[in-house]
Amino acid sequence: MEKHTLHTDIAIIGGGIAGLWALNQLRNGGYSAILFEQKALGSDQTIGSQGMIHGGIKYALSGVWSGDSHTISAMPAIWRACLAGTGKVDLRACKILSDDFYLWSSASLQSRLTSFFASKMLRGHVEKLKAADYPAPLQASAFRGQVYRLIDLVLDVPSLVQTLSNQHRQAIFSIDWHSASLRREGDRATLALPHCTVVPQRLLLTAGSGNEALISALGGATPAMQRRPLQQVLVKHRYRENFFAHCIGGSPSPRLTISSHRTRADEPVWYLGGDLATEGVDDDPDQLIDKARRELNELLPWIDLGQTQWRTLRLDRAEPRHSALLRPDSAFVGKVDTVDNTLAAWPTKLALSPDLADEIQRQLVADNILPRHQPDLSLLQSMGQPPIAAAYWDTLFQ
Ligand SMILES: Cc1cc2nc3c(=O)[nH]c(=O)nc-3n(C[C@H](O)[C@H](O)[C@H](O)COP(=O)(O)OP(=O)(O)OC[C@H]3O[C@@H](n4cnc5c(N)ncnc54)[C@H](O)[C@@H]3O)c2cc1C
């Protein structure tokens, strides 16, 4: 049977937040873009993230962020515009878990934090709270620290993935690499599928940690990727108050980060990250769970979680090699070295997805890649459509 050739402006590999956001923004901008996902949409990092759309205060604590000039400080406002339906991507159907994100310190750190947060650099990004405005888990007479409200917000990630997938569902397909392959034809990459060959003006790799294998399938060596693993802790419990906060300890990064989620059966789960997850990456899960219990007992001794169940989750954060500590404030898009038409992209943070899509669009325009093709997507129908990834708080406690 003769194979068809399907010309498209953009072919995207990988349907995490990076690929889904790019798909939405590019299609909204008039490009024909098609996305291929090998498992479920939002798998791996995206569904494992805490959903915090943050403005970079975390980096300010460690001294690698210096205020208004940086991309990340603009992100919460850009996301809020999308949530209101006035941004480049329509997130009106996405569920917001919290409009507020808090930062609290223990009594012993008060003076360091007070002068730091009063600095000009952070004006407008943080607000010191009076006791009456503290979030419920910190409203205890025994609590002696300080509490700040950040400009950050927290989204329900499964609903974010669903929202982004729904709007361009007709352009999203499953891919099975047993019967598909990336090909190098001269200086261009193409995608060979069972019934047709996809020839994109630009191939966009947004497969998270999967980018490494895709780049090497094209014979490429750069952009090089690195993985920074961590081990998060999940505790299912009976305490009904939500909590979205960083606890600041002696180190420059948050000692503990807590986000609240609900299982499908409406059971509360606290998802615990921060230093606990990065320093405990190689701990035996039981050892790490013990550490997490001790942290909660020490930091929030007045909270009774009731009956609890504990799990840990080890995940790789995928990012361009060496860039993370140098440029924590912007997303990365780079050309694959062996072909002329392929970009590899890592947002490095969920929050930076809008920056990633803007950078992709900027590079397209700089290379004179404009909307040109109108592919017949019925050629791809037989590939089927990927499902949405299930939240870890649903799968891990089964
Ligand atoms: C525990 C944790 C918590 C985090 N919390 C936050 C947070 O609160 N806020 C924040 O801003 N950032 C957070 N991050 C970072 C954020 O999650 C990531 O930067 C972001 O999700 C990366 O998205 P991505 O689309 O590049 O990759 P991924 O989310 O990993 O998605 C990659 C997708 O590509 C698919 N794929 C892989 N290989 C192939 C292939 N060969 N073919 C087709 N498809 C493929 C995968 O199945 C997956 O669907 C967190 C990260 C972790 C690990």
Is pLDDT above 70 for 152?
Answer: yes
pLDDT category at 323 given cuts 50, 70, 90 is low
Is pLDDT above 70 for 172?
Answer: yes
- C-alpha–C-alpha distance, residues 21 and 164, integer Å: 7
Per-position b or e across 96-133, b if 16+ CB within 10 A of its CB: bbbebbbbbbbeebeeebeeebeeeebeebbeebeeee
What's the confidence (pLDDT) of residue 57? 73
What's the confidence (pLDDT) of residue 352? 96
Choosing from 21, 49, 179, 352 the residue with most ligand 1 atoms within 8 A of its CB, the one to mutate for a pocket test is: 49
What's the confidence (pLDDT) of residue 255? 94
Domain 99-154+227-318 has CATH 3.40.1190.20: no
Q: What is the pLDDT of residues 8-24, one digit of tens each?
A: 999 999 999 999 999 99
The two tokens of residue 110 are 């008060």
What's the confidence (pLDDT) of residue 282? 98
What's the confidence (pLDDT) of residue 327? 52
pLDDT category at 124 given cuts 50, 70, 90 is low
Q: What is the pLDDT of residues 191-240, one digit of tens each?
A: 999 999 999 999 999 999 999 999 999 999 999 999 999 999 999 999 99
Residue that is written with structure tokens 């000039």 in the block: 69
3-state secondary structure the chain: CCCEEEEEEEEEECCCHHHHHHHHHHHHCCCCEEEEECCCECCCHHHHCCCEECCCHHHHHCCCCCCCCCHHHHHHHHHHHHHCCCCCCCCCCCCEEECCEEEEECHHHHHHHHHHHCCHHHECCEEECCHHHCCHHHCCCCCCCEEEEECCEEECHHHHHHHHHHHCHHHEEECCCCCCEEEEECCEEEEECCCEEEEEEEEEECCHHHHHHHHHHCCCCCCCEEEEEEEEEEEECCCCCCCCEEEECCCCCCCEEEEEEECCCCCEEEEEECHHHHHCCCCCHHHHHHHHHHHHHHHCCCCCCCCCEEEEEEEEEEEECCHHHHCCCCCEEEECCCCCCEEEEECCCHHHHHHHHHHHHHHHHHCCCCCCCCCCHHHHHHHCCCCECCCHHHHCCC
Mean pLDDT confidence for 150-170: 96
| Cα–Cα separations (whole angstroms), residue 148 to 50, 119, 358 | 19, 14, 31
pLDDT category at 328 given cuts 50, 70, 90 is low
What's the confidence (pLDDT) of residue 73? 85
Ligand 1 mean position to 143 CA, how many Å? 36
Pairwise pLDDT comparison (353 vs 322), residue with the higher score: 353
pTM score, whole prediction = 0.95
The two tokens of residue 350 are 């969920």
β pairing state of 196-205 and 342-346: parallel
What's the confidence (pLDDT) of residue 65? 54
What's the confidence (pLDDT) of residue 69? 45
Mean pLDDT confidence for 383-398: 97
- C-alpha–C-alpha distance, residues 87 and 47, integer Å: 23
Average pLDDT of the chain, as a whole number:
92
Q: How many CA atoms lie within 13 A of 93 on its CB side?
A: 12
pLDDT category at 253 given cuts 50, 70, 90 is confident
Mean pLDDT confidence for 133-153: 94
What's the confidence (pLDDT) of residue 21? 98
Closest CA to 31 of 321, 326, 274, 357: 357
Share of the chain above pLDDT 70, in %: 90
Ligand 1 mean position to 237 CA, how many Å? 27
Is pLDDT above 80 for 107?
Answer: no
Closest CA to 168 of 4, 355, 392, 12: 12
Is pLDDT above 80 for 360?
Answer: yes
What's the confidence (pLDDT) of residue 71? 83
Question: Looking at domain 4-46+160-226+321-395, what is its CATH homologous superfamily?
Answer: FAD/NAD(P)-binding domain (3.50.50.60)
Of the given ranges (34-48, 103-117, 192-206, 330-344), which has the lowest mean pLDDT? 103-117
Tell me the domain boundaries of the chain: 4-46+160-226+321-395, 99-154+227-318
Pairwise pLDDT comparison (274 vs 55), residue with the higher score: 274
Q: What is the pLDDT of residues 299-320, one digit of tens each?
A: 999 999 999 999 999 999 999 9
Residue list, ligand 1 pocket, CB within 6 Å: 13-19, 36-39, 42-46, 48-52, 175, 206-208, 210, 214, 230, 232, 273, 315, 317, 346-351
By the 10 Å C-beta count (0-12 exposed, 13-18 middle, 19+ buried), 291 is classed as middle
Torsion angle of the four alpha carbons 185, 188, 191, 196, in this order, in degrees rounded to the nearest 10: -60
Choosing from 13, 20, 41, 45 the residue with most ligand 1 atoms within 8 A of its CB, the one to mutate for a pocket test is: 45
Q: What is the pLDDT of residues 68-81, one digit of tens each?
A: 447 888 899 999 99
Choosing from 52, 212, 315, 349 the residue with most ligand 1 atoms within 8 A of its CB, the one to mutate for a pocket test is: 349
